[in-house]
């Protein structure tokens, strides 16, 4: 029919994985079509994820820093927050990036087709744009359909006072009492924003610590700081019911102190993300999707059907933008005939809370659980001149070494930990050891020195019982 097109490589979904794959394939000479259901390119990360959250987190940081400058002899009045303007500013950051993507697509002659794409056969996608249907036939396909927030059956998600991360980023108002259900990265980042804006925040986490992926000692400085600011941090606690009443959302929780019922103005549900694999009708092309919605791939990002690739959140954990980008490059290069594999040793994770929590590679908890012989070097930031001059001393840099004294993991907590972790990721990729990190001259006084110092703190004792 009219509007039907053929692509050498079609990419389904324009998030960080999808646009990266599309651009890379085009740069390698392929005729590329990029299908996206939403009005702007960029997926979750640019529109309702990484970028808007970081824009708001910056404002949160300025507010809390201003509050704390009293000890330095500098006082500011209580900030006046113009929510509409803050929203506009956040949107302007998002629009600058998503608009930039459209320009980059045009420059590469990547054809963007708007609408919801479903596979209808091994070489065909049908696109539904508000009822107007067209098809894209393809030689090769990259599924980059991403993920969406998990909903829970006992929560009234249709009540406007129950929000997910997208709703939280909309910043409709500043609720007086906010319950954040889920103490993972997304929940805690949003909590950081709403706390700075004046909400009384309660965190509920099912596990025995917040940010369960990171080591407890690395999370502790964050826990300690927000414990002093938030109403409550309830670990080992689960929400069992949420009732919408005129007075608010009545939440039933079960924890170490038994059952507690409390009423909140808003509930942010941040209990994880579900992959969209089940929504693209992959079976029509012979591509298997598991019961969770994940699509299994090999190290070349190929699904069980060799000309169909999958990347990003839809293929598995960790659901992070930089992983999706890396996989997108691999898929595009393999599609263009290159010998490429996904062979990254590690993928760093960062919570952009205050302080930031970052970790990469093997954690101490994991080493213990797996009975690995490891050693560690730990440097407390209370001894870092740069950290003290920021008025912050709670940070920690920890390196984990294997029996050859090679660095295999790190956990860092403190301002800018997310930037600092990149050096350790590189060190792990390069097979660096304690001496490499200890003998590399770092600029003084910087927070980056803490990596250097942590390596020097390593005493060369490798044991299986740390
Ligand atoms: P997505 O970004 O999910 O994009 C998928 C795209 O496909 C979407 O645009 C969707 O509309 C489109 N699509 C889906 N199905 C179809 C279809 N059938 N037809 C047409 N289009 C379709 N990660 C980080 O690394 N750092 C962070 O700081 C960070 N912060 C986050 C904060 C929040 C609040 C959230 C929710 C996530 C955050 N993430 C962060 C995770 C990050 O956003 C995801 O890992 C990343 O977006 C995954 O990229 P992707 O390309 O796999 O898919």
Asked if residue 205 belongs to a known ligand binding site, the reply is yes
List, in order, residues 6 or more apart from 406 with CB less than 8 Å away: 431, 432, 433
Confidence of residue 466 (pLDDT cuts 50, 70, 90): very low
Beta carbons within 8 Å of 369's beta carbon, 6+ residues apart: none
Model confidence at 341: pLDDT above 50: yes
Residue with tokens 């259901």, as numbered in its chain: 37
Calculate mean pLDDT across residues 356-365. 98
The residue whose CA is least distant from atom 8 of ligand 1 is 43
308 is known to lie in a ligand binding site: no
Residue 130 preceded by cis peptide, ω within 30: no
Q: What is the pLDDT of residues 99-142, one digit of tens each?
A: 999 999 999 999 999 999 999 999 999 999 999 999 999 999 99
pLDDT tens column, 7-34 = 999 999 999 999 999 999 999 999 999 9
pLDDT in the model for residue 465: 43
Residue 328 Cα: closest atom of ligand 1 = 51
Determine whether the shortest distance from the Cβ of 11 to ligand 1 is under 6 A. no
The number of the ligand 1 atom at minimal distance from the alpha carbon of 16 is 51
Spacing, Cα 38 to ligand 1 middle (Å) = 12
Q: Which residue has the tokens 């110092």?
A: 453
Give the pLDDT confidence score for residue 13 in this predicted structure: 98
Residue 464: what pLDDT? 55
Annotated catalytic residue within 72, 292, 404, 444: 444
- Going by CA atoms, what residue is nearest to atom 35 of ligand 1? 49
* Dist. CA 146–CA 143, nearest whole Å: 9
What is the per-residue pLDDT across 131-167, written as a single tens digit (0 to 9) for each? 999 999 999 999 999 999 999 999 999 999 999 999 9
Checking if the pLDDT of 460 tops 80, the result is no
User: DSSP assignment of 333-368, as one string?
Assistant: HHHTT-------S---EEE-SSSEEEEEE--HHHHH
Q: Are 171 and 159 in contact (CB under 8 A)?
A: no
Residue 45 Cα to ligand 1 middle (Å):
5
Told to judge if 444 belongs to the known catalytic residues of this protein, a careful annotator would answer: yes
Strands (E) in 235-374, as ranges, are 238-245, 248-255, 258-264, 266-269, 273-275, 308-310, 349-351, 356-361
Q: What is the ipTM of this complex?
A: 0.99
Q: Tell me, in angstroms, the distance from the centre of ligand 1 to residue 18's CA.
A: 9
Q: Is the CB of residue 185 below 6 angstroms from any atom belonging to ligand 1?
A: no
pLDDT digits (tens, 9 = 90+) for 34-77: 999 999 999 999 999 999 999 999 999 999 999 999 999 999 99
Atom of ligand 1 nearest to the CA of 279: 18
Percent of the chain with pLDDT strictly greater than 90? 97
214 CB under 6 A from ligand 1?
no
Determine how many CB atoms are found less than 10 A away from the CB of residue 292.
10
Nearest atom of ligand 1 to the alpha carbon of 42: 9
CB 37 less than 6 A from any atom of ligand 1: yes
392-442 pLDDT per residue, tens? 999 999 999 999 999 999 999 999 999 999 999 999 999 999 999 999 999
b/e burial code for range 103-137 (CB count within 10 A of at least 16 → b): eebeebebbbbebbbbbeeebbbbbeeeeeebbbe
d(CA 33, CA 196): 43
């Amino acid at each position: 029919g009219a509007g039907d097109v053929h692509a050498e490589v079609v990419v389904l979904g324009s998030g960080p994985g999808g646009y990266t794959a599309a651009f890379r394939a085009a740069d390698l000479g392929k005729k590329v079509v990029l299908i996206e259901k939403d009005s702007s390119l960029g997926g979750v990360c640019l529109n309702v994820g990484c970028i808007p959250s970081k824009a708001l987190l910056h404002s949160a940081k300025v507010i809390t820093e201003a509050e704390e400058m009293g000890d330095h002899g500098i006082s500011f009045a209580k900030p006046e927050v113009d929510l509409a303007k803050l929203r506009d500013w956040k949107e302007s950051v998002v629009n600058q990036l998503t608009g930039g993507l459209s320009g980059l697509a045009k420059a590469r002659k990547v054809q963007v087709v708007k609408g919801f794409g479903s596979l209808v056969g091994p070489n065909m996608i049908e696109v539904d744009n508000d009822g107007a249907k067209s098809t894209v036939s393809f030689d090769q396909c990259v599924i980059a359909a991403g993920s969406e927030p998990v909903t829970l059956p006992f929560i009234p998600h249709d009540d406007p006072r129950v929000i997910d991360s997208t709703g939280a980023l909309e910043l409709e108002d500043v609720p007086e009492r906010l319950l954040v259900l889920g103490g993972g990265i997304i929940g805690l980042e949003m909590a950081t924003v709403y706390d700075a804006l004046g909400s009384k925040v309660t965190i509920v986490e099912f596990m025995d610590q917040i940010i369960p992926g990171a080591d407890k000692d690395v999370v502790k400085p964050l826990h300690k700081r927000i414990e002093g600011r938030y109403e409550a941090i309830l670990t080992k606690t689960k929400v069992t019911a949420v009732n919408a009443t005129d007075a608010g959302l009545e939440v039933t929780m079960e924890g170490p102190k038994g059952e507690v019922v409390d009423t909140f103005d808003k509930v942010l549900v941040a209990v994880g993300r579900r992959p969209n694999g089940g929504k693209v009708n992959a079976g029509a092309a012979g591509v298997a999707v598991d019961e969770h919605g994940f699509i299994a791939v090999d190290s070349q990002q190929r699904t069980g059907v060799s000309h169909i690739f999958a990347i990003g959140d839809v293929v598995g954990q960790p659901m992070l933008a930089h992983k999706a980008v890396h996989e997108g490059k691999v898929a595009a290069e393999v599609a263009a005939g290159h010998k490429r594999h996904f062979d990254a040793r590690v993928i760093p994770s960062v919570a952009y809370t205050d302080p930031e929590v970052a970790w990469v590679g093997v954690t101490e908890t994991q080493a213990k659980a797996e009975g690995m012989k490891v050693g560690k070097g730990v440097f407390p930031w209370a001894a870092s001149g740069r950290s003290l001059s920021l008025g912050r001393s709670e940070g920690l840099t920890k390196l984990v070494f294997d029996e050859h004294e090679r660095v295999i993991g790190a956990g860092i907590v403190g301002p800018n930990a997310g930037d600092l972790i990149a050096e350790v990721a590189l060190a792990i990729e390069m097979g660096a050891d304690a001496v490499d990190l200890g003998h590399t001259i770092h600029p003084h006084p910087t927070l980056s020195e803490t990596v250097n110092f942590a390596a020097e703190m390593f005493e060369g004792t490798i044991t299986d019982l740390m």
